[in-house]
Amino acid sequence: MIKEKQLRFQIQTKSTTYLFEVTESGHLKHYYYGPVLSEKDAENWDISSSVGWGCALLYRQDDPSSSLHTTPLEWSGSGCGDYRESPIELEDADRVLTTDFRYVSHKIYSGEEPRHFLWPRAEGAEETLEVCLSDPEIAMDLHLYWSVFDDVICRKAVLLNKGNDPRYVRKLMSFCVDFSGEYRMMNLHGDWIREAHTETAPVGYSRIVNESLTGFSSNQHNPAFAVMTEQTTEWSGDAYGFNLIYSGNHYASMARSSANLTRIMQGISPANFRFELAPGEALETPDAVMTFSAEGLNGMSRNLHEFVNNSLVPAYWRYRERPILYNSWEGCMFDFNERKLLGLAKEAKRLGCELFVLDDGWFGTRNDDTQGLGDYNVNMKKLPHGLTGLAERINKIGLQFGLWFEPEAVNENSDLYRMHPDWVLQEPGRKPLQGRNEYLLDLRMECVRDYIVKSVSDVLDSANITYVKWDMNRHSNVLGAGSMEYVLGLYDVMHRIFDPRPEILLESCASGGNRFDLGMMTISPQIWASDNTDPMERLYTQKGLSYFYPQSTMGCHVSASPHMQTMRHSEMETRANVAFFGDLGYELDLDHVTYENKKKIREQIKFYKQYQRIFQFGTFYRYDTDENHEQWQVSDGDCSFVGVFRRQVSAAPGYEKLFIYALDPEQEYHVTTRPQNVNLSTVGGSINLLSPIKINPNGPLFYVADHRIHITAASEDRTHTGRALAGGFVPVPLFAGSGYDGRQRLVGDGGSELYVIEKTGK
Ligand code: GLA
């Protein structure tokens, strides 16, 4: 709900209030964003100083409190006494322009405002406030927007050139706001196979910037960030979440001013940005997303997860369960033929998978990553019955069929490049650089977009394809507004291909999580989180992403051990326990999986299927843990799953205490553990503590037994109230080298347990 009284605006979400007003000089003064305020509080809330401050320039000589530098603002300009970073920078042909936008009018729309540009956006806003500002000196108007969703506010800016000469936009943020007080910023950094690690830093008087300059939302700096206080934990305290519905170069900054105001802004990166705004034209920013929770980071995540699941992902896929898939990449790479694929598909079906995904290598001369990219004609040597025939055979086995593409890129060694070298994204006079032997196609060119739409659509219509993995493996450093225009081109292509085919499940991928962003999610309900499937590494990546994105958006696969990137060994059960907290898939050569491990996979899939809705759409909680542990929970209110993951065990652990929150304190719950087996090789020679005959842990008998016999770890089975479980209970002890009688948990380094907590109804 949005209310206005004497130019004081009150934006009310389900559990927050946002307050600002128009000052006498026409600027927008920010007052408050936090827990719901009463009507009276909202009317009286004030932040003001009636006297001037130190070196402040006064906006009006007759008003000592009129310095813009010491006013908390909803937007600011340059050159009028606010020395803080400005969200807007403009030039005309000759000079940098002073900007000073002041209130002219406002409007409250039910639902969304009429749109200007083509940015992807969330659907289903309750109301939208538009405030129109103007700077007559430079003949420009600025319209600012606040759209209300359940517990999220979307903001954006639209700049209009009302003059007779072109203007050049060097910077236009989606929003800017000044909070009073001291904060910390948490953001996600990383690289390929090390995506979404968190970093938290106090915001001081020097500016902190979270920015991507790779052309994409990037695995180096995800656009999402959290703002919190020193006291904020996963479960309590103030937590603000911010994000941008955009897939290109982005920018966010925070800095504290000398007056103790913390300025926050976010938008398209201004680095090397220059956009010509012709007379009469408008430039619209992508939407920024903001939320607040007084229930800590878990509360912030809940608001953002609900927003994505309810309003952001394509309508067809909202709360629709994602199929359990088998992907051919890690098992086969480029080396496969129809026989191999059908063998894998049969096995995947036997294990319980629902969808078979053929990854890279099915077209042109794509037998390695140096060639063929761009030529989407089926390799008939590998697939003699074509995709149509393969899809039919896979469907007959009882699986859906999905396919990999990388439509934005091209190898130099490809027919497409030989025919159209000019289609490559490049600067006149400079040779473009390659990454993974690829150039990017210039999606700003209409003929390129038409080519991609046609070639991908033709393939999709040639066979029964119900899933697409859309990959992109090369950064871009195109400068100017070119990066933004590329992203617009990409959205255009994807909409033209997938809007008419809403039932195709699109999983976006960019060398893993290089484009894990809200812009992609408006088209692609699921995103491949990382090429790294080592469960210990995935704990970092999935946890980092979980702050801002729901489990339903995260592709999470079980792969082989030792892991191909870290060479780390892991238990099959831990690999699954981590992957359960997302969209489960399997990605390993099933011909090389032991009989015992296949049995485990079958059990894992059966279990996941039973609770798929909760794992994909349930409320997600992280626990405050030390660096050796992670504890995650998903819940639908009646049933919860708690994963406890351990990076390293310590000797003689003694009794542990486990706390389980987010349960009804008055209700009774039955707590069990998903039954787990460990390999003989995990316990090694200690098996002789149990075995009636002595087995040499390095001998052939042990090797054979390792593939056939597994040891069952102790399981929990207890009933307690939610209150007791939140107070902490002592689970069965950990194995500590002093004997094993079946009542110890066998959890080594990298071990895990999955607790199942169900209401008994008593
Ligand atoms: C990227 C993706 C992988 C796989 C390969 C295929 O690395 O992230 O999942 O699809 O490309 O070349």
C-alpha distances in Å from residue 71, one per residue of 30, 47, 447? 8, 8, 50
Measured from the Cα of 509, ligand 1's closest atom is 8
Which token pair is 418?
Answer: 């030989």
- Among the residues of 524-570, which ranges form H helices? 535-546
**Bridge partners of residue 240, in order along the sequence:** 227, 292
Query: Closest by alpha carbon to 545, among 575, 508, 515?
Result: 515
Give the residue numbers marked as catalytic: 471, 531
Residue 392 has a pLDDT of 98
Ligand 1 pocket check: which of 219, 330, 403, 471 to mutate, most ligand atoms within 8 Å of Cβ?
471
* Phi, psi angle pair for 616, to nearest 5°: -85, -35
**In the predicted structure, residue 118 carries a pLDDT above the cut 80:** no
Contact by Cβ (8 Å): 271, 211: yes
pLDDT, tens only, 476-524 = 877 777 899 999 999 999 999 999 999 999 999 999 999 999 999 999 9
Residue range 307-327: mean pLDDT, rounded: 98
Whole-angstrom Cα distance, residue 75 to residue 78? 11
DSSP letters along 578-620, please? Answer: HHTSSEEEE-S-GGGS-HHHHHHHHHHHHHHHHTHHHHHHSEE
Residue that has been written with the tokens 């976010």 in this structure = 266
What number of other Cβ atoms are within 10 A of residue 621's Cβ? 24
Residue nearest to atom 5 of ligand 1 (CA): 360
Buried b (16+ CB within 10 A) or exposed e, 272-288: ebebebeeeeebbbbbb
CA 420 – ligand 1 centroid, Å: 25
Residue 709 has a pLDDT of 77
Residue nearest to atom 8 of ligand 1 (CA): 511
Residue nearest to atom 11 of ligand 1 (CA): 511
Residue 704 has a pLDDT of 82
Whole-angstrom Cα distance, residue 257 to residue 238? 21
Percent of the chain whose pLDDT exceeds 90: 84
CA 511 – ligand 1 centroid, Å: 6
Contact by Cβ (8 Å): 217, 515: yes
DSSP letters along 222-288, please? Answer: EEEEEEE-TT--SSSB-EEEEEES-SS-EEEEEEE-TTSEEEEEEEE--TT--EEE-TT-EEEPPPE
Residue nearest to atom 12 of ligand 1 (CA): 360
Which token pair is 148?
Answer: 């209300």
Whole-angstrom Cα distance, residue 423 to residue 161? 32
Residue nearest to atom 9 of ligand 1 (CA): 531
Measured from the Cα of 473, ligand 1's closest atom is 1
- Three-state SS string across 201-238, please? EECCCCCEEEECCCCCCCCCEEEEEEEECCCCCCCCEC
Whole-angstrom Cα distance, residue 148 to residue 150? 7
C-alpha distances in Å from residue 396, one per residue of 354, 362, 391? 12, 20, 8
Whole-angstrom Cα distance, residue 353 to residue 587? 11
Residue 46 has a pLDDT of 86
C-alpha distances in Å from residue 321, one per residue of 48, 280, 525, 628, 743? 51, 46, 11, 32, 37
Whole-angstrom Cα distance, residue 638 to residue 634? 11
Query: Closest by alpha carbon to 520, among 508, 528, 512?
Result: 508
CA 399 – ligand 1 centroid, Å: 22
* 585 CB-contact burial (10 Å; exposed 0-12 / middle 13-18 / buried 19+): buried
Which token pair is 355?
Answer: 């969808």
Residues contacting residue 500 through CB under 8 Å, at least 6 positions apart: none
Measured from the Cα of 469, ligand 1's closest atom is 10
Whole-angstrom Cα distance, residue 526 to residue 509? 9
**Bridge partners of residue 188, in order along the sequence:** 198
Residue 56 has a pLDDT of 85
* 406 CB-contact burial (10 Å; exposed 0-12 / middle 13-18 / buried 19+): buried
Measured from the Cα of 359, ligand 1's closest atom is 10
Residue 426 C-beta-side C-alpha neighbours within 13 Å: 16
**In the predicted structure, residue 289 carries a pLDDT above the cut 90:** yes
Residue range 54-58: mean pLDDT, rounded: 86
The C-alpha angle 148, 153, 154, rounded to 5 degrees, equals: 100
Measured from the Cα of 531, ligand 1's closest atom is 8
Among 58-62, 290-294, 363-367, 497-501, which is the least confidently predicted range?
58-62
Question: What's 295's DSSP letter?
Answer: B
Percent of the chain whose pLDDT exceeds 70: 100
Of the pLDDT bands very low, low, confident and very high (cuts 50, 70, 90), residue 652 is confident
CA 506 – ligand 1 centroid, Å: 15
Taking all residues of the chain, what is their mean pLDDT, rounded to a whole number? 95
Q: Greater confidence, 653 or 310? A: 310
Whole-angstrom Cα distance, residue 550 to residue 309? 7
Residue 184 has a pLDDT of 98
Report which secondary-structure segment, H or E, holds 460: helix 446-462
Residue 427 has a pLDDT of 87
Residue range 162-179: mean pLDDT, rounded: 98
Contact by Cβ (8 Å): 345, 396: no
pTM of the model: 0.97
Residue nearest to atom 1 of ligand 1 (CA): 511
Ligand 1 pocket by C-beta < 6 Å: which residues?
Answer: 329, 359-360, 369, 404, 471, 473, 509, 511-512, 528, 531
3-state helix, strand, coil in the chain (%, to 5): 25, 30, 45
> Could you give the 3-state DSSP secondary structure of residue 702?
helix
Whole-angstrom Cα distance, residue 104 to residue 58? 22
Chain centroid to CA 228: 19
CA 414 – ligand 1 centroid, Å: 18
467-470 and 505-508: which strand pairing? parallel
Integer-rounded Cα Rg, in Å, for the chain is: 28
Which token pair is 302?
Answer: 């809940």
CA 474 – ligand 1 centroid, Å: 11
Which token pair is 158?
Answer: 């639209």
Whole-angstrom Cα distance, residue 13 to residue 151? 5
Q: At what angle do helices 535-546 and 572-579 cross, to 10 degrees?
A: 10
Residue that has been written with the tokens 């489990």 in this structure = 551
Whole-angstrom Cα distance, residue 163 to residue 167? 9
Whole-angstrom Cα distance, residue 463 to residue 456? 12
pLDDT, tens only, 375-403 = 999 999 999 999 999 999 999 999 999 99
DSSP letters along 49-99, please? Answer: -SS--TTPPPSSTT-TT--GGGS-BSS--BSSS--SPPSEEEE-SSSEEPB
Residue nearest to atom 4 of ligand 1 (CA): 329
152-161 and 282-284: which strand pairing? antiparallel
Contact by Cβ (8 Å): 79, 88: no
Measured from the Cα of 404, ligand 1's closest atom is 10
Residue range 632-645: mean pLDDT, rounded: 97
pLDDT, tens only, 663-706 = 999 999 999 999 888 878 778 887 787 777 888 888 888 888 88
Residue 579 has a pLDDT of 98
CA 471 – ligand 1 centroid, Å: 7
Residue 748 has a pLDDT of 87
pLDDT, tens only, 146-159 = 999 999 999 999 99
